[in-house]
Amino acid sequence: MGKVKIKRKSTLIDMTAMSDVTVLLLTFFMLTSTFLQKEPVTVITPSSVSEIKVPTANVAQVLVSPQGQVFMSLLGDADPDNAENWGSEALRKEVLKTAAADYEAKTGKKTGITPMDIEKFAKNASFGVPLEKMHEFLMLETSKQDEFLSQTLDKPVMMGNLKPKDIGIPFKEITYTDADGNKLTTNEFQIWMRAIYNSSNTNIHDAIQKGEGIAVKSDRGTKFETIHQVLDNLQTIKMNKFSVMTALKTEAD
Amino acid sequence: MAQIEQSSGGKKKKGAQKKMSIHVDFTPMVDMNMLLITFFMLCTTMIKSQTLSIALPTNEKLDQTELQKAKESEAITLILDTDYDDNGNVKGNTVYYYTGKPVLETQGEQVVSSNLEATEFIGNDGVTQQGIRKILHDRNRGVLADVEKKKQEWRDKKITEQQFQEAAKKIRNSDEYDRPVVIIKPLPNASWESVISALDEMQINQISRYQLGNLTEVDEAMVGDYKAKHPKN
């Protein structure tokens, strides 16, 4: 019997080519992608044939959850030269200050928003709690904030004075008297929208006038009566032109 | 884990240079890259959302009279409705429509007849339109035919895209054609999808005059009557 000689061969595989490919793929993904924005609720937008792209700057997005909770997210000017005054963070700070001041003037209640809250607020892309609870909400850690916003009805999360019904911008009527003594009504959604419209960033102001500055986003299965309150309020404050977010229609649709 | 292997041949010549083969193990590098790729693939969107612009009529009274001025022969009213299954998922969208004024003949409580009809959102079957698209297409035939002519010119490279867009816009808003005025009235439980589909049909059929309106009592009575007469199995 002859001995079978097992040849000893090195098992090293040259990974250089593989590495080249993965680096190329990585470069491709890094260059083509835009990051998903963190949103309190995930919605599937309806499809349409429209091919107009969503603007990436100077847009106020109104997100309506199927339960009717309204969240807003604000993007300021993308131009780095304007970032100091008109960028997303500067814009959010200004809008929160204006909205809080307006709310306090109209209701006579204190919001208790501190300068630190404003700094924290500017870092968040989207918001959606009543102004009165804003301070308490912003005091929470980021993970707790997410936990609060993403709670479901069967598993309510209680955090101090924050109750499940405090998710979303409220549409509760606020009655106030203007300088001429007329009785008028408004609500927090309108206060926010006006604050955005009247901010010192004139680009977002122009975009809203053109109908590009407001984007309404909602799930395809959401009932119209839920969204109607948003549309109705936009109409009341004469922001009649706006856009809705849709996905591109596929052949199957 | 870079390896520098010395060739250990049996016969070593004096003075000959030592042959060194350098292997750098790229496996960890590949591992890391794969992880990064996975991260980017999961955290990014490749497709950017599209937008559709809407203009709502103002809340002022003035527009109500303007609205009534719209010729009755031109008006089409779409009433949107959606059925849901037990889990609250959309089962199907229905479009009720009538042209001109609503006609509702009643005898006491009983509805005798109405001019309401029902159809659905449905895509093209090859080149022929179906459902609500066919109805709107037929009503806006003049505009569509001329836009199609311009489009052909553009395809044949006789005009640029910009020229085509301008010409199409002019045709859409021209009073020379018999253009419809569409009023979209979603019922409270109509799905958002159906509202967008209705607005989409306006784009597809090059209709420039349309608006979202509120339901009237007559509309509701007509839909109620239609549903009673055409029960869904």
Interface check for A118 against chain B (CB to CB < 8 A): the answer is no
pLDDT under 70: residue ranges of chain B: 1-16, 46-48, 57-72, 108-112, 232-233
Report how far residue A194's alpha carbon sits from residue A95's, in angstroms, rounded to the nearest whole number. 9
User: Residues of A with CB below 8 A from B53's CB?
Assistant: 50, 52, 211-212, 241-244
Q: Over chain A, what is the mean pLDDT? A: 82
From residue A9, alpha-carbon distances to A6, A12, A174, B21 in Å are: 9, 9, 82, 15
Q: What integer pLDDT is reported at residue B217 of this predicted model?
A: 79
Taking CA–CA distances from A27, the nearest residue in chain B reads B37
Q: What is the pLDDT of residues A122-132, one digit of tens each?
A: 888 888 888 88
- B68-104 in b/e form (b: 16+ CB < 10 A) is eeeeeeebbbbbbbbeeeeeeebeebbbbbbbeebeb
Contact by Cβ (8 Å): A242, A215: yes
| Contact call for B26 and A49, based on CB within 8 A | no
Report how far residue B95's alpha carbon sits from residue B190's, in angstroms, rounded to the nearest whole number. 10
Chain A stretch 33-52, residues whose beta carbon is closer than 8 A to a beta carbon of chain B: 33-36, 45-52
Q: Name the 3-class secondary structure at B139.
A: helix
Taking CA–CA distances from A51, the nearest residue in chain B reads B50
Taking CA–CA distances from B199, the nearest residue in chain A reads A48
The partner residue sitting opposite B30, judged by closest CB among A19, A244, A247, is A19
Report how far residue A243's alpha carbon sits from residue A213's, in angstroms, rounded to the nearest whole number. 8
Interface check for A26 against chain B (CB to CB < 8 A): the answer is yes
Q: Which two tokens stand for residue A59?
A: 């847009």
Q: DSSP letters along A45-81, please?
A: PPEES--EEPPSSSEEEEEE-TT--EEEEEE----GG
Report how far residue B199's alpha carbon sits from residue B90's, in angstroms, rounded to the nearest whole number. 18
Q: Which residue has the higher pLDDT, A248 or A137?
A: A137
Q: What is the pLDDT of residues B139-174, one digit of tens each?
A: 888 888 888 888 888 888 888 888 888 888 888 777
- Cβ-proximal residues to A49 (8 Å cutoff; 6+ apart), any chain: A249, B200, B203, B204
Q: What integer pLDDT is reported at residue B32 of this predicted model?
A: 92
Contact by Cβ (8 Å): B59, A236: yes
Chain B stretch 165-204, residues whose beta carbon is closer than 8 A to a beta carbon of chain A: 186-197, 199-200, 203-204
Categorize the per-residue pLDDT at A250 as very low, low, confident or very high, splitting at 50, 70 and 90.
low
- A163-187 in b/e form (b: 16+ CB < 10 A) is eeebbbbbeeebeeeeeeeeeeebb
Q: What is the pLDDT of residues A9-33, one digit of tens each?
A: 777 778 888 889 999 999 988 888 7
User: Residues of A with CB below 8 A from B204's CB?
Assistant: 49
Q: What integer pLDDT is reported at residue A253 of this predicted model?
A: 46
- Smallest CA–CA distance, residue B76 to chain A, in Å, is 20
